[in-house]
Amino acid sequence: MATTEAQLVEEAKRLASFTAVDLHIDESAKVIGVGSGSTVVHCVTRLLHHHQKSPFKACIPTSFQARDLILQHGLPLGDLNQFPVIDVAFDGADEVDSSLDCIKGGGACHLQEKLVAMCANKLIIVADYRKNSQVLGEQWKSGVPLEVVPFAYVPVMERIRNLGGKPTLRMGVKKAGPVVTDNGNFVVDADFGLIRSPRELNQQLISIPGIVETGLFCAMAKAAYFGNKDGTVSKNEQGL
């Protein structure tokens, strides 16, 4: 039976996750950041393998989903107020450019993901081949996810239009009304086309009152691992 595209993607996620965890977990890594999304499920599976050999102090989740994964696998659960310094964090991405700037937030967890990334000595991105781009916006066409306070989402969207973006309030799939984040906020997806200066755009967006956080992760990742269709893993790294 021929391998389907979905099977190729899932295997690519597994390969990237296992490779990244094996290369960046050693006996000195005791506090681990656990990201969100389908790829990170494979990271948690591999983290359990390492935990059984050299136990961690704590795994810090970026979302309700990540918290559940940690507990389901019997890994030690912690939070940032207990462990404000994280040895290494593993997370997925919606897209990664050649400079390791990322778009994240397709799962509406980007505020907590960015807080964990900020506290991590190393942020390692794991993804499949579809997420690997030269410029942000090449592959990911859903825009930059922005966490926005519900009180002001309409004026915030107007400010985004003034910057040249096309904002859309993200609506729930199996609920009536908008998506609500773990923090009780709305998500606005802002399409800017190809983003050639993500760091400049991030500064413009975060300066708008009412935007709590952006899905642009700039100058945060130390390395990205991409599982490929042919069973190989490609690596992009900065400063490692």
Q: What is the CATH number of the domain that holds 106?
A: 3.40.50.1360
User: Cβ–Cβ contacts within 10 Å for residue 120, how many?
Assistant: 23
Mean pLDDT of the chain: 96
Taking the C-alpha atoms of residue 39 and residue 13, their distance in angstroms, rounded to an integer, is 5
- On whether the CB atoms of residues 128 and 225 are closer than 8 A, the answer is no
Residue 174 CB partners (closer than 8 Å, separation 6+): none
Q: Which domain holds residue 176?
A: 144-214
User: How confident is the model over 98-115, as pLDDT tens digits?
Assistant: 999 999 999 999 999 999
109 inside domain: yes
User: How confident is the model over 156-195, as pLDDT tens digits?
Assistant: 999 999 999 999 999 998 888 999 999 999 999 999 999 9
How confident is residue 2, by pLDDT bands cut at 50, 70 and 90?
A: low
93 inside domain: yes
Residue 226 CB partners (closer than 8 Å, separation 6+): 12, 16, 96, 127, 128, 129, 131, 132, 233, 234, 235, 236
Taking the C-alpha atoms of residue 104 and residue 143, their distance in angstroms, rounded to an integer, is 10
Q: Are residues 128 and 180 in the same domain?
A: no
Q: Are residues 96 and 46 in the same domain?
A: yes
Closest CA to 88 of 45, 44, 126, 119: 119
Taking the C-alpha atoms of residue 1 and residue 218, their distance in angstroms, rounded to an integer, is 42
Q: Are residues 206 and 130 in the same domain?
A: no
Closest CA to 106 of 196, 203, 38: 38
Q: Are residues 173 and 208 in the same domain?
A: yes
Q: Are residues 94 and 196 in the same domain?
A: no
At 178, list the tokens: 């908008």
Q: Are residues 48 and 148 in the same domain?
A: no
pLDDT for the residue 1: 64
Q: Are residues 172 and 130 in the same domain?
A: no
Q: Are residues 88 and 207 in the same domain?
A: no
Phi and psi at 191, nearest 5°, equal -85, 120
Per DSSP, the three-state class of 77 is strand
At 37, list the tokens: 């999304």
CATH code where residue 173 lies: 3.30.70.260
The residues annotated as belonging to the active site are 113
139 inside domain: no
* Confidence (pTM): 0.95
> In the chain, where do the E strands start and end?
31-34, 58-61, 88-91, 95-96, 102-103, 123-128, 144-148, 166-169, 186-191, 211-214, 216-217, 221-227, 233-237
Q: Are residues 9 and 65 in the same domain?
A: yes
18 inside domain: yes
240 pLDDT more than 80 = no
pLDDT for the residue 132: 96
* Residue with tokens 């021929």, as numbered in its chain: 2
158 inside domain: yes
pLDDT for the residue 175: 81
Domain count, the chain: 2
Closest CA to 11 of 51, 39, 46: 39
User: How confident is the model over 121-162, as pLDDT tens digits?
Assistant: 999 999 999 999 999 999 999 999 999 999 999 999 999 999
